Amino acid sequence: MDAKISRELDWLEAAIDEFAETSIRGGEYWRASYTDEDRAAVEMLTGWYTERGFKAYTDEVGNLYGRLEGKESGVILTGSHRDTVKHDGKYGGALGLLSAVAAVTGLNQELGQPVKTVEIVATVEEEGSRFISSYTGSRAIAGKLKPEHLEEEDAQGITLKQAMEDAGYYKGSLPEPRKDIERFVELSAEQGSVMEKSLKKVGLVQSIVGLEVGSITIHGEQNHAGTTPMSMRKDPVPYAAEIIASLTKWANSRNDRVVVTFGNIQVQPGKPNIIADSVTITFDIRSTNESLLSEARSILQEFRNSAGPGFSVDYKIAAYDAPADMDLDGILAMRDIAAEHNMKYMRIDSGAGHDAQIVADCFPTNMIFVPSEKGIAHSPLEYTSREDLEEGYILLREYLRTLAWGK
Amino acid sequence: MDAKISRELDWLEAAIDEFAETSIRGGEYWRASYTDEDRAAVEMLTGWYTERGFKAYTDEVGNLYGRLEGKESGVILTGSHRDTVKHDGKYGGALGLLSAVAAVTGLNQELGQPVKTVEIVATVEEEGSRFISSYTGSRAIAGKLKPEHLEEEDAQGITLKQAMEDAGYYKGSLPEPRKDIERFVELSAEQGSVMEKSLKKVGLVQSIVGLEVGSITIHGEQNHAGTTPMSMRKDPVPYAAEIIASLTKWANSRNDRVVVTFGNIQVQPGKPNIIADSVTITFDIRSTNESLLSEARSILQEFRNSAGPGFSVDYKIAAYDAPADMDLDGILAMRDIAAEHNMKYMRIDSGAGHDAQIVADCFPTNMIFVPSEKGIAHSPLEYTSREDLEEGYILLREYLRTLAWGK
């Protein structure tokens, strides 16, 4: 390998560890947005930007940019988010963010001033690290964050607006949507094991799944398990079981184009010898295909509508994100680079959400995946080896070269 | 109505309240076995027995008897249990026990010394009020309680043996099985709403359900809800749903001859966006038909055996009680009395367990049910009105008359 790439990867590996240190308390990595931990991360990044000659600045919601001015108008955006969930691992957003810092630094040293301006963004509150709704930074960039969204409260009752004000970002108005961005590319670990199992090192993301998450509560009639004949029961548990079994069967028949997960079930009162009064099941449905999400919703609603007498069904949607297609020209360009470098690449869909899906309808957007060891994400055990990172890093660097330096 | 029956019912109503008072602490009725509350109940019953000329005595496990000597050998046994679960209602065992006191007292006053000896038993620890395994008193009567059963510990780690010793009952050996009992008859509230819904006042119990209760834990593979395609999942939740749906469907097709309840479900880790590592479901299967219990067990075991690779299924049986048929001669005799008195009677199976099922294979045993308002049992709201009790009480009294006084 090229010695300069190797040095960039040395820096990147060390930087991931150094960056994590800003937000490890009692052995636990958690960088909630607008906190002291977040402030420390912003300071470290600002230092790195500045010493490389990138202009560091923040917007009114707290996105942190490092800007390397080009000769012509138009901005190529790269980077990732800087927040982490509680008890997270070191890779998360840091991998894409610091890969961007390393690559842009290396390209700048190698090729001088770019044709297009390059900005590296460290978005804020992508993970829902502090507030339930996520993608705050990218929604601001896309012009999708509205004043009413700022009223959301964190677990302590502090509003998003207050948190942004206290951190010194928000001063009464939201940032203008970015109209100057020509393209966005983000590198990330897969957060799954499709690539590892396929023995591939680079994933060209085709689409990011949309998701619908929520819960269904079925109310029946509490009664005695022994003395209530089957014909006199309104037992919500078998009804819930029918919903789970049916929707799973449907998803299994769709050739991995949709996933359905029922991750929690709560039975009330939950005694072995009492027919339940109610059952609540959570659902998490994801697909890159909007019509499959809509089909799943219809199946659930049909269960609600067809509940017999004595049953009632509450159906709550907690979040809906539309699926997003990555830019086809970008995929083709990256495919050519990957082929030229004999990379072990594959096309892949993202089952996890990313800022990229928020901005994809504003400007052409692409993602590069590298493998996650054992598919682990959002855990201290999360790991992407240098060997697994190399090809994805080179692809990001080469793609940025063609986009911003035009050579 | 006969004035003396009316007086007996007056006493019975008052006695139920007075008896409950012995064990109400802070508004909550709980008479755990071998406690001060139990001691107070034994003293009150002993007083009632003695003042009526019944010989009061206890056996080595703490069953309390009141014996009215007859002219010939052989014992007619009646009564019920004296313990209650925590937060129980006033009727439970007290209704059958004090109905027996009232009826035997009335018959003795009306007809003098019986032909057969009559004993009223207040059994101990039927409910599992203190120890998990139940029917301790009736198991001792039937010779089914073994020395090793005395090693069971309560929530404080006190063994059954120690508790019996501390209460002054156990002195090193278990009671001999009762061979002198010719017949047992127990009155109880239904603890369900089949009679209320059928507008009947007297239930002639045909069989007491057997039950199999336990839990099934399905282990799958924890994973990310978004990034794990359906074909790569080992999700235990849909597997559990299939078990619940299948066994319920099977039970529904058996014309109310079996009931199946899944009263609790625990999902680990129980997060909406994580495919579960494991699910535990409790099952409670009851039937008067042993072959249906065995069929249900086969269905569950088939699910265990057919779990695919990546799944493992643990199947734990917490308790098994065989179903018990009540004595047919007794049912016929009571049917004739009920018909003669123009009672609104029906034949019914008991979906709840009773001491009667433990002793039914030792001597002819029968049960009489009276309605439970709204089917409520084991709750402070448990209630059987005087109007609902009358016919059942008269049936018990008339049946005891024919059995013990022979007229």
In a shared domain, residues B215 and B138? no
Chain-chain contact of A230 with B242 (C-beta, under 8 angstroms):
no
The per-residue pLDDT for B1 is: 67
The per-residue pLDDT for B133 is: 83
In the listed set A321, A349, A370, which residue is the last one of a domain according to the structure? Answer: A321
Say which CATH number the domain at B310 has: 3.30.70.360
Chain-chain contact of B192 with A227 (C-beta, under 8 angstroms):
yes
* pLDDT band per the 50, 70, 90 thresholds, residue A241: very high
Which value does ipTM take for this structure?
Answer: 0.83
Residue A1 has pLDDT above 80, yes or no: no
The whole-angstrom distance between residue B174's C-alpha and the CA centroid of its chain comes to: 22
In the listed set A293, A321, A349, which residue is the last one of a domain according to the structure? Answer: A321
In a shared domain, residues B113 and B174? yes
Helix (H), strand (E) at residue B181? strand B181-189
Report the alpha-carbon distance of residue A389 to residue A187 in Å, rounded.
10
- Other Cβ atoms within 10 Å of A340 Cβ, number: 9
In a shared domain, residues A352 and A302? no
In the listed set B270, B302, B321, which residue is the last one of a domain according to the structure? Answer: B321
- Other Cβ atoms within 10 Å of A381 Cβ, number: 10
Q: Residue A166: CB partners within 8 Å, gap ≥ 6?
A: A34
CA angle B212, B127, B333 (to 5 degrees): 85
Look at strands B72-81 and B116-123 and give their pairing: parallel
CB A198 within 8 A of CB A346: yes
Nearest residue in chain B measured CA to CA from A249: B238
Six-digit token string for A365: 């957007």
In a shared domain, residues A217 and A202? no
Domain extent, residue B258, equals 210-321
In a shared domain, residues B7 and B138? yes
In a shared domain, residues B359 and B221? no
The pLDDT tens digits of the residues spanning A58-90 come to 999 999 999 999 999 999 999 999 999 999 999
In a shared domain, residues B172 and B104? yes
Chain-chain contact of A244 with B241 (C-beta, under 8 angstroms):
yes
Which of chain B's residues have a Cβ under 8 Å away from the Cβ of A237? 244, 261-263, 265
In a shared domain, residues A149 and A251? no
Report yes or no: A351 at the B interface, CB cutoff 8 Å: yes
Which of chain A's residues have a Cβ under 8 Å away from the Cβ of B192? 224, 226-228
Look at strands A55-58 and B324-325 and give their pairing: unpaired
In a shared domain, residues B172 and B35? yes
In a shared domain, residues A86 and A177? yes
Nearest CA to B343 out of B200, B242, B208, B211 is that of B200
Q: What's phi and psi for B256, nearest 5 deg? A: 60, 25
Nearest CA to A114 out of A405, A406, A314 is that of A405
Report yes or no: B151 at the A interface, CB cutoff 8 Å: no
* pLDDT band per the 50, 70, 90 thresholds, residue A343: very high
Q: What is the mean pLDDT of each run of 10 residues along chain B (407 residues)?
A: 93 98 93 97 98 98 98 97 94 97 98 98 95 93 97 95 98 97 98 94 97 96 91 96 97 95 96 93 96 95 90 92 95 97 96 95 98 91 95 98 95
Query: How much is the mean pLDDT over chain A?
Result: 96
The whole-angstrom distance between residue B40's C-alpha and the CA centroid of its chain comes to: 22
The pLDDT tens digits of the residues spanning A290-330 come to 999 999 999 999 999 888 899 999 999 988 999 999 999 99
Residue A393 has pLDDT above 70, yes or no: yes
In a shared domain, residues B313 and B354? no
Structural domain tally of chain A? 2
Of all residues in chain A, the percent with pLDDT exceeding 70 is 100
In a shared domain, residues B191 and B175? yes
Say which CATH number the domain at A172 has: 3.40.630.10
- Other Cβ atoms within 10 Å of B74 Cβ, number: 14
